[in-house]
Amino acid sequence: MTNYPQDPGSRHADQPLSGYGAPVGSVAPTMTPDQERTWATASHLIPLAAMVLSAGVLGFVASLVMYFVMRDRGPFVRQAAANSLNVQIITGIVLVVSVPLMFVLVGFATYGLALVFAFVVHLVAAIRANQGEWYNPPMTPHFVK
């Protein structure tokens, strides 16, 4: 037998709206410091892996997903996810600018340097997050806070 959601007027306030998931009005649960460190580290390593596997294209998507999923879980993981997204935004800007510059051959160097920069920054940030240190990447504007 399928459990269909009840009429919204007939349900209790502590019941989920659709029969599953979190109760209405609840927020994402906060994490323990160890969980925050783990997810802060993952918010840099997952985009790093996606960036390496896709030549720089999917790192932004991974950072964006991590930011939207983890931003309400705790201040440490929010800052790490925002920094990861900021690194990917600046990397994306440099990659887009590098494409037309490839016609004068300088774009090949800037494209590669942008990927190396993002790789190193994500790696350092992941190590710092794993150690529980607050870290702001160098040469990265704060588009997302």
- In tens, the pLDDT along 79-130 reads 999 999 999 999 999 999 999 999 999 999 999 999 999 999 999 999 999 9
In a domain, 143, yes or no: no
In a domain, 1, yes or no: no
Domain residues for the domain of 44 are 29-130
Q: CA 37 to CA 94: how far, in whole Å?
A: 29
In a domain, 12, yes or no: no
Q: CA 77 to CA 40: how far, in whole Å?
A: 5
Number of structural domains found in the chain: 1
In a domain, 17, yes or no: no
- The pTM of this model reads 0.75
Query: Strand locations in 1-145, DSSP E?
Result: none
Average pLDDT over residues 1-27: 47
> Residue 64 is which amino acid?
L
In a domain, 139, yes or no: no
Give CA separation, 37 vs 21, 47, 69, in Å.
25, 16, 15
**C-beta pairs of 67-71 under 8 Å, 24+ apart in sequence:** 67/43, 67/144, 70/39, 70/43
In a domain, 56, yes or no: yes
In a domain, 74, yes or no: yes
